[in-house]
Chain A
């Protein structure tokens, strides 16, 4: 017998068995639920289905009637918070809608001002009313607490169309940096330190060692020229060779150690240090000297002579007359240069008699000044 025939016989057998014995396993029939109904008349149905009439609401909330009597604000002063706001006379005319409800144990503060419409089952004919109610402020432009309008809000930041370069434009920022050790501890803490327990915290924890610089580094300046060593005033007595050699070695080691501790070589305090003068500060000095630079009595030859004059200024900005000297001159004879220099010297001394106005904190920058007096423009005036 072929397999297909077997499958067919089995299938038909199952089918016939289900047809013969299937009824034996059927569930009990469901109980029929019967509900009693009452018959009403058409008039009653019409009466029951009639909706309640919606209240008439003015389309403009601002036209709502104001309370005839001022609200008895003192009665609302149940909390300190409300006292501040409501005790102001200006707020008397203001509906109490701004009073927080939790602090005002009064009935609905706005029944007379803005009666709540009854529950609306269907959408009203005028939907604008519903939209306007949540924003009463916009509907009361005249009466506000502040008598003066507040400042206009800042305009929103507009996104620039021009693409700016990224902030971190340093070349080093794009290059891969070498791993570095942490130079400063994290600032975050697991405890909140207040003024009350600041001292306790200070006692508990040692002060963190901050290795980050507090100020930016100043650029190095040219060190002073090494001065000739002074002649020894005392001549050491000659020692034995061995003792002398040992002493030399010891002193050499000490010197090396001192040099290493000092950071390599003695560098005297730089002379011009600190930030340089700004162009404005330089201009002020230039203008101050120009006011006294009188070339009216100079010869035409001297008017073709440019002189460089150096001067030392004291801390109060006054020039030291003895320090004024001509460094160089161009364009004229020696006689002309002398006259040009004397006119320049007069200008420095005269206008510096009360001290040039220069920033005192930058004194090292302007202690020595070299002024170039170029009369080219004055020659054609």
Chain B
């Protein structure tokens, strides 16, 4: 069946797909642990019976039972060598049986492996594995392909490309989203839709995991962005465990009761998954009779996507910043790292730009002396896993762009396509194949036109070429090609005029490499800011820039308010409201110097306590008074708050940090006598016992003890009894603290206690801690105490050192 005929069918009516196959096989005696595909082949009567029942119920499409017919799944049953025979025979038998009464779609489903960059199955291997199955099904005869129950966008892409590169048959895709509307691998329906419809599938939707009610909401959410028909195959309700059995208990009538709402939400194809039967499908088909499906509402969509996030672009969307930093040009450190094959700075730039508010990350690996393609693939792989943002693939080499687009598990933006012959002939078809958006550069082999008219002419020429590949205006971002004003002061005007024409007349997204305008000028930020303000007024809606620039991001936030791109000004208020609150807090704290010191400890402000103490001393408060009436009462209050669970451990540590810092600042101001009173300086030896490598708890105890004035000798982890006791003797320790986190290592604590007593250290107090020990164990091995947490260890240490 051609894609056009498939579309004609969708335009005519609500298309009914089939219901569950797996649960129907089990009803007919398929045992556990067998290959369902082999069972189907050996029980074709059962397959025909199920299909006939679905067709009689009203199914327009039935799935050939080839769900697990890929090489990886068949290998699990030792059947890989029968792959072609099984798939083609199943397809042939199904088509013969249905005899044109319905369409027979080849069923492709997960391999069970994770595909790179998320797993160890190479992307090309995944494509080839699906291709092998696709070709076998084509040999048997299919009307199209259903890629179903997918939980990972990258594996889904591999299956889609396998079909696309093998035939021109219709492809329908359903992924399985749980109640949180994410697949198990975290893909959301909108980014999956954007990625897959750009790749050229013919319908998208969801199957399995949830019942019809949850799918109504999901379809509603993505309908405004769908250029293609939407499809749902819900389970017969949510699975329930009854007498140890998983059952789907939604009856046919109730199942069909959701048809109206599913269609109103925007579904064009409906069917069923686990637990549904021919009765469910009949009820569904009856309910849909005479109803008109809502056809796709958009013909084009300016949007890019990453595996877990979509980014919409356009007039009514927020101004989008494409983070420019992952580009070695002019960055010596990054160049050196990339030459060594390291990606630490790439990772760092990515996370800084995400935090700064970028919407898309530009990735450029163009550097003489490195393998650009290999490095680009490495960077794409790393960024697809390590960041949430969609990528902009930036290269002048079409081979690099093709490799990156093929691997990237989303819809990328290509930077860039111009009227240069090589770009139009090579890069444009590649971008189109993978459905990427692209940045249009109005220049050709002769260079950049100086006039706005020249640039407009080239823009139209490139767009006309792109239209031949199915591109629409929404898929394009025009680069206004800003040149520096330091060499030509009218350069900015040409770019601004081009932005205005592109936004208002040609109606495409516009972008510029913002900082180019100020190259060679002093204090560049002001030129950049002024240009941005002017360009915003002309309609600029994107920039390639560094999102760490506060001026830039603040101007953009303001611009979005004025251009009504920030509805109800939520984003602006969210960005700036915190700043006002903070300044109010500071004002309040200025009221009383001694109280401010108290608050610093109470709230754990180790960064401001020095200033607070200095202010108090200047205001005439005595150092000893600050100790007695601010620091000590505050830390005691913190202890009470911790005991009553109003504070938790991080707050306790923050306060203890602030107090320690406070003492350090005050120490020079205290008299010698009072210093002596403060100094507890008893030595405590801490260690994680031999064989145990867990030491974070012990490290926290060390920090807390130090904050409370003890002299801690931290021996580290995996320390033998001999070393611990020797250290206790050497440092004249009053206390030894032991930590263990494993039942297999806690026994070493007893060795330390025994050795201490054998060595005659009877006054040495030994306290123990760790997840596997308790007070009973402390008593059992003869330790002096068990500390449940760091605060308790401080209390015990104080008690043991009181004179």
Q: Do these two chains really belong together in a complex?
A: no
Residues of A within 8 A of B (CB): none
Residues of B within 8 A of A (CB): none
